[in-house]
Amino acid sequence: MTMRRQFVLDDVSRAIIEQLQEDGRRPYARIAAAVGLSEAAVRQRVQRLLDAGVMQIVGVTDPLQVGFSRQAMVGVRTSQDARIAAEKIAAFSEVDYVVITAGSVDLLVEVVCEDDDQLLDVVARIRAVDGVESTETHLYLGLAKQTYAWGTRGPQGSTQADAGL
């Protein structure tokens, strides 16, 4: 896994990101009024944040509302370099999240499926990947918390040296 450059966000960038986390379609004029910048300055700041890979603005769906009734997290143990298995499993269309871990499993794989039959198929395909020793599937029964606000909790401070982020 490659380490990326980390940016320390200034208070204005944090405020802009928080505004967009509340409503990704919020007009720049409203954001500008909330953070004390001009609309043009907000537009430029957002573009720099996007270009630097600090944030993305995307539409997020609720899988249950669009026909996917089964979600699960699959723990995967491997007998070889976990990165190789992770790359292969990440290519599955039903997989939306793969992370290499330290602990009792080597990978955590989130899958979103139409039904139990599709989940069984996906788990069988994961087990067939070279180097996969075993899997442990955890079905999602309910959602207690889902947030996209982690991007504003970090080191405080202004970093004009970091491209005005």
What are 25-60's pLDDT values in tens digits? 999 999 999 999 999 999 999 999 999 988 988 877
What are 89-118's pLDDT values in tens digits? 999 999 999 999 999 999 999 999 999 999
**Residue entry with tokens 């966000």:** 9
Find the farthest-apart pair of alpha carbons in the chain and give their distance in angstroms, rounded: 56
- Domains, the chain, with CATH or none: 11-59 (1.10.10.10), 63-139 (3.30.70.920)
What are 9-27's pLDDT values in tens digits? 899 999 999 999 888 899 9
Residue 144 is predicted with a pLDDT of 87
The Cα–Cα gap between 140 and 91 comes to 22
Residue 151 is predicted with a pLDDT of 59
On whether the CB atoms of residues 10 and 159 are closer than 8 A, the answer is yes
CA dihedral 30, 35, 38, 42 (to 10 degrees): -80
The Cα–Cα gap between 146 and 54 comes to 20
More confident: 78 or 22? 78
> What is the 3 state secondary structure string of the chain?
CCCCCCCCCCHHHHHHHHHHHHCCCCCHHHHHHHHCCCHHHHHHHHHHHHHCCCCCCCCCCCHHHHCCCEEEEEEEEECCCHHHHHHHHHCCCCEEEEEECCCCCCEEEEEEECCHHHHHHHHHHHHCCCCEEEEEEEECCCCCCCCCCHHHCCCCCCCCCCCCC
With 70 as the cut, is the pLDDT of residue 163 above it?
A: no
Residue 154 is predicted with a pLDDT of 61
How many Cα atoms within 13 Å fall on the side-chain side of residue 40?
A: 0
Residue 157 is predicted with a pLDDT of 47
Residue 12 main-chain phi, psi, to 5 deg = -65, -45
With 70 as the cut, is the pLDDT of residue 71 above it?
A: yes
Whether pTM exceeds 0.85: no
